[in-house]
């Protein structure tokens, strides 16, 4: 009898231990990372009454976990840096992506963030559009670490209109990344991933859904009174005109672009529609979430950025884009419920950066704001340098508020670098739009608030950053003559949404300050895998069950 009792107790212990191990090691079938390009945090609440109860944003807010004070911890706050930070948990000083474009101090030329001339386009006859890869990223991504954790059994796919929005999140070891070629209207990839376009993507391209969407044109989806309540006038001189100089207000006739101009779709809500449809096709065709291990789908919605740049945060166009995106996300989550299983997948939603109000809109309401232009600043500084040092090309580049000195020329002329930098700084400080100028190499010694100082330091990489960081005054942006932009330290550019939802996620919210760098660390903790190789983020433990 004692022997039977002993055996039964042993069996219960083994079963209990097994159950505990199974619970501890439980993982979602699929992780879906969503980046909404240029989404300000306050859009979650500013437009909340307009979002549907069945839409994506209210599902995430009501059933998921919202980090209400998440910030970008570096400069510049632009697309490539944001996507890299989200997926690496790192900052430009470490991961190397210091802008959408930068002047490479070793190569002595401008470099695009995902350019790679060693690979070729797959999926269209366009040449340069497909010469892209993640090779400029110095560190691993959370998607790389997932693949590493199970001997590359996980499937990882990245999808976006923008090449950088698909390539960087998917990581170095991805199965595929697909982005939009505006010349052909096709989603393409590069030989970095494959020699021939995947069959299901080719079939998707052949449907030419874009022409069907153009045929719908673009009109407001809510009563006119709603836009009048939430927005500035429909027609403003400060807005850009992406659909032609005569296309000033709703409704926009898009039918003329069918079969002719596939670039215009990006500046409409339909750009988000086709990305969501391709994402659904990826889930179905690749059987994501049906694997023996966790799969990962990285989706970046770019049309919000194109619309934001053209029309600004207070436009009818932007409001309409977010209302439609809310419905698109709701439909996407419903699709995942049916295919992967409700509560069987985990979602995080965030932004790569936020965005400022249009300067002229601010000025109309007696708020500070202004414009500047990189090209004009470079020209002005070189003219000043000629007066001071006898050389007109001492400034190699001005990009993302960085001033790059032509060091080979500086050395050949035997000029004192410290004196040149100080002289240029003093000149810039006389400009009405400039708040401060920081010598990036010595940023730790700068007499500026610690928050800004840390962001400058986090954004500085000696090979790819400029010598001087220009800190502009509030509301000033590099945005041409119309529209708006982003890139600075201020909360309107750096305060982003961060929501978690689904498997392993609590319901609730957190008001303490968190950072973009914390996302990858949190997903790593959820998946019980190593965080990316350059990660400096912390796990947001409050979000995990």
**For the CA atoms of the chain, what is the radius of gyration?**
25
Burial 35-53 (b: 16+ CB within 10 A, else e): bbbbbbbebbeebeebbee
Q: What is the rounded CA–CA span in Å between residue 367 and residue 340? A: 48
Q: How many CB atoms are located within 10 Å of the residue 104 CB?
A: 16
State the DSSP string of 214-232. HHH-B--SS-HHHHHHHSS
What sections of 312-370 are H helices per DSSP? 316-336, 359-364
494: nearest Cα among 350, 299, 317: 350
Asked about 189 being catalytic, the answer comes back as no
Using alpha carbons, list the distances in angstroms from residue 228 to 224, 235, 298, 337, 520.
6, 12, 35, 36, 40
Which residues lie below 8 Å from residue 502, measured CB to CB, with a gap of 6+? Answer: 28, 64, 343, 344, 345, 346, 347
Contact status, residue 134 vs residue 114, Cβ threshold 8 Å: yes
**Catalytic residue (choose from 22, 24, 70, 79):** 79
Which residues lie below 8 Å from residue 260, measured CB to CB, with a gap of 6+? Answer: none
**DSSP 8-state secondary structure symbol assigned to residue 400:** T
Q: Check residue 10 and give left, alpha or beta (phi > 0: left; psi -120 to 50: alpha).
A: alpha
Q: How many CB atoms are located within 10 Å of the residue 295 CB?
A: 26
Residues acting as catalytic residues = 79
């Amino acid at each position: 009898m004692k022997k039977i009792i002993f055996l039964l107790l042993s069996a219960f212990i083994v079963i209990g231990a097994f159950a505990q191990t199974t619970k501890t090691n439980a993982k979602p079938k699929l992780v879906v990372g969503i980046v909404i390009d240029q989404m300000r945090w306050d859009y979650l609440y500013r437009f909340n009454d307009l979002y549907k109860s069945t839409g994506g944003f209210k599902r995430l807010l009501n059933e998921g976990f919202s980090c209400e004070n998440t910030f970008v911890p570096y400069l510049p706050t632009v697309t490539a840096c944001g996507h890299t930070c989200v997926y690496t948990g790192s900052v430009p000083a470490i991961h190397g992506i210091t802008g959408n474009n930068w002047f490479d101090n070793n190569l002595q030329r401008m470099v695009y963030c995902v350019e790679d001339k060693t690979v070729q386009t797959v999926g269209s006859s366009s040449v340069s559009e497909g010469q892209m890869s993640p090779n400029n990223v110095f560190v691993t991504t959370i998607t790389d670490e997932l693949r590493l954790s199970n001997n590359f059994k996980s499937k990882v796919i990245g999808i976006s209109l923008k090449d950088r929005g698909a390539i960087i999140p998917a990581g170095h070891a991805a199965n595929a990344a697909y982005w939009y070629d505006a010349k052909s209207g096709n989603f393409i990839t590069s030989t970095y991933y494959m020699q021939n376009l995947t069959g299901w993507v080719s079939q998707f391209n052949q449907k030419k859904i874009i022409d069907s969407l153009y045929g719908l044109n673009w009109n407001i989806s809510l009563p006119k009174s709603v836009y009048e309540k939430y927005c500035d006038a429909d027609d403003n001189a400060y807005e850009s005109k992406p659909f032609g100089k005569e296309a000033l207000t709703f409704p926009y006739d898009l039918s003329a672009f069918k079969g002719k101009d596939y670039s215009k779709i990006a500046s409409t809500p339909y750009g988000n529609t086709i990305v969501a449809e391709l994402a659904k096709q990826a889930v179905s065709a690749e059987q994501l979430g049906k694997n023996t291990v966790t799969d990962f789908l990285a989706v970046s919605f770019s049309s919000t950025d194109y619309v934001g740049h053209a029309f600004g945060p207070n436009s009818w166009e932007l409001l309409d884009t977010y209302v439609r995106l809310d419905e698109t996300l709701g439909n996407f989550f419903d699709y995942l419920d049916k295919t992967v299983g409700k509560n069987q997948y985990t979602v995080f939603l965030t932004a790569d950066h936020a965005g400022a109000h249009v300067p002229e809109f601010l000025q109309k309401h007696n708020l500070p704001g202004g414009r500047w232009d990189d090209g004009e600043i470079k020209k002005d500084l070189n003219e000043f340098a000629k007066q001071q040092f006898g050389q007109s090309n001492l400034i190699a580049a001005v990009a993302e508020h960085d001033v790059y000195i032509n060091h080979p020329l500086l050395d050949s002329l035997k000029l004192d670098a410290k004196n040149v930098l100080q002289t240029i700084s003093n000149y810039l400080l006389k400009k009405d739009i400039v708040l401060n100028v920081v010598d990036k190499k010595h940023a730790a010694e700068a007499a500026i608030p610690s928050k800004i100082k840390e962001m400058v330091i986090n954004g500085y990489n000696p090979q790819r950053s400029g010598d001087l960081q220009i800190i502009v005054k509030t509301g000033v942006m590099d945005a041409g003559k119309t529209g708006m932009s982003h890139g600075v330290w201020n909360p309107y550019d750096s305060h982003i949404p961060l929501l978690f939802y689904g498997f392993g996620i609590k319901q609730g919210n957190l008001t303490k300050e968190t950072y973009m760098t914390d996302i990858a660390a949190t997903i790593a903790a959820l998946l019980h895998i190593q965080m990316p190789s350059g990660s400096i983020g912390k796990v947001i433990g409050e979000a995990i069950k």
